[in-house]
Structure 1
């Protein structure tokens, strides 16, 4: 074999390798070209994920705002202090005590009714009429006054129990006020209709 044929064989042998090398370079270039597109898709996906997280956070904030008392301008959310419920519970308990023990208003009304009865029976009247006018009407007036306070205590206590966001001690005080109001109302009704203590009867 002469040197010329050897050179040709060598050229033929190296040509596929060169072609292969060129193909590899072409694929590398394609990969390099595709890489920026892949990065853009990844960036887009990341942006969408961040957007979804932002929407979720905004939704959570809206839900939180709905659970708060918001000012008239709608820009300053603030948590409810529960002051109204606390004051209502204490007020109900106080009214319940007054409904059972009586008040100065009831005493004044009873004394006034006693005076009116004395004026009516001063010109004469049967003992039964005197008892009813002087004592019975006064007792009924006291029972009516106490019943009003007891009814208010019962209503306010029940209203406080239906309100949300109450402190730990508020429900207990509200229940106590409602219970005292209910008890005072029962006693007042019994006194007004002479069920618990009836008027004394006049002797024959």
Structure 2
């Protein structure tokens, strides 16, 4: 007979992976704070005599990149945790079967992590909603 607590850690990790994947796609408080801080630093470091393009990049572009970095970090963690949960049975007790719902939620975390990572890279490289032209 299987213990009642078998797979609880894997299930919790799978749910955390999916949750982090959702946070990577929707944004987080940490990303908002990083963006606001970067925007403030850009305002403080940019002189009023700087070109409009330089001001826009310092105030908005760097903040946009900070948000992308935080989102990418959440996506990467979601991807790694989901992959760990899926790989765990190979290194655990042989003969123990992982519950199907754990695999499903872990795959969701991996998928959300991949999507979030791709969007974060596209956002960081200005392929997705880049800064407007100032000319």
Q: What is the match of residue 55 of structure 2?
A: 130
Q: Matches of 2:11 and 2:66 in 1, distance apart?
A: 32
Q: What is the match of residue 111 of structure 1?
A: 36
After TM superposition, list the pairs within 5 Å mapping 1:54-203 onto structure 2: 81-164=6-89, 165-203=97-135
Higher relative contact order (CA 8 A, sep 6+): 2
Kept after mapping to 2: 8 A contact 1:154/1:177: yes
Which is higher, the Rg of structure 1 or of structure 2?
A: 1
SS of 2:80's partner is helix
- Which consecutive unaligned segments of at least 5 residues does structure 1 have? 1-67, 69-77
CA RMSD of aligned residues (A): 1.6
TM-score by length of 1: 0.59
Q: Matches of 1:186 and 1:110 in 2, distance apart?
A: 19
Kept after mapping to 2: 8 A contact 1:86/1:166: no
Runs of 4+ with >4 A deviation: none
- Which consecutive unaligned segments of at least 5 residues does structure 2 have? 90-96
Aligned residues between the structures: 127
